[in-house]
Amino acid sequence: MVDKTITVIVASLNEEANIAAVINNVLMAVNGKFDDYEIILFDDCSSDRTGEIIDNLAACNSKIKAIHNSRNMGFGYNFNKGVKLARMNYISILPGDNEIELKGIEEMFSRVGLVDIIVPYVVNKNVRTISRRLISKTYVLIMNMLFKCGLRYYTGPAIVRADILKKIPLKTNDFAFMSAILVRAIRRGHSFMEVPISICCRLGGKSKAFKIKNVISVFSTIMKLFWEIEISQGNEYNKFKKSINSSKILI
């Protein structure tokens, strides 16, 4: 059995109001649950004090590494780069906006090691706008129709075994990067568990996910993924496992 260690990648763009709280929650969540951990912080060319803040956080903890992008690269790029740098046996991604509550992070972390992939889904969707809930629901319906994975959520901060991630082609830098990872891994037969989490309102800043250019990029990614999974490499992606019921596992 491999050691229970985790790399937590945190990507941020203009999150000076939120990033310190995110790291505080991560540190509380890893406490006592892992043999070792590391946190890789990305400042994606912020124009506020985000870069300065993550440098200060790294200076206070040797397990935290701060990385500064010279230009804005996107959430998926930061994750993919973080995977290449990761030294631990499981890899997680968290947004720098502090949307994921401490309890939700703890719920996910407590199940690491039970399955290959932890797939979170949001239970208190009412904290988001109606339009965002509608877009999210439509996206999930389309993804399940195209790829038959039956997930409740495709874009959350999933946790994946590092050796699996490092064998998956990380081709996607846009906001569909986690969707592509989950589809590839699940369709290859890796075990997974869906875990309910709660989110909270942002303390500051705005979501970057629904800019027009991001929507177009996501659409393009999904079409390319469909070609890969269902047509060009279909034989490689015909292995399915049912989700393990997380409600039967006590924390």
Q: Is the pLDDT assigned to residue 182 strictly greater than 80?
A: yes
Indicate the residue type of 166. K
Q: Is the pLDDT assigned to residue 120 strictly greater than 90?
A: yes
- Domain boundaries along the sequence of the chain: 5-248
What mean pLDDT is reported for the chain? 90
How large is the average pLDDT for residues 58-78? 95
Fold of 5-248: Spore Coat Polysaccharide Biosynthesis Protein SpsA; Chain A (3.90.550)
Give the pair of three-digit tokens for residue 9.
Answer: 């990648």
pLDDT of residue 245: 62
d(C-alpha 90, C-alpha 181), whole Å: 14
How large is the average pLDDT for residues 17-32? 96
Phi, psi of 65 (to 5 degrees): -120, 130
d(C-alpha 137, C-alpha 69), whole Å: 32
What are 45-60's pLDDT values in tens digits? 999 999 999 999 999 9
DSSP 89-157: SEEEEEETT--B-HHHHHHHHTTBTTBSEEEEEES-GGGS-HHHHHHHHHHHHHHHHHH----S-SSS-
pLDDT-derived band at 244 (thresholds 50, 70, 90) equals: low
What are 149-171's pLDDT values in tens digits? 999 999 999 999 999 999 988 87
What are 74-113's pLDDT values in tens digits? 889 999 999 999 999 999 999 999 999 999 999 999 999 9
The answer to whether 97 and 20 have CB atoms below 8 angstroms apart is no
Sign of CA dihedral 120, 126, 128, 132: positive
Q: Percent of the chain, pLDDT > 70?
A: 90
The answer to whether 135 and 234 have CB atoms below 8 angstroms apart is no
Residue of 129 and 26 predicted with greater confidence? 26
pLDDT of residue 34: 97
pLDDT-derived band at 249 (thresholds 50, 70, 90) equals: very low
What are 4-21's pLDDT values in tens digits? 999 999 999 999 999 999
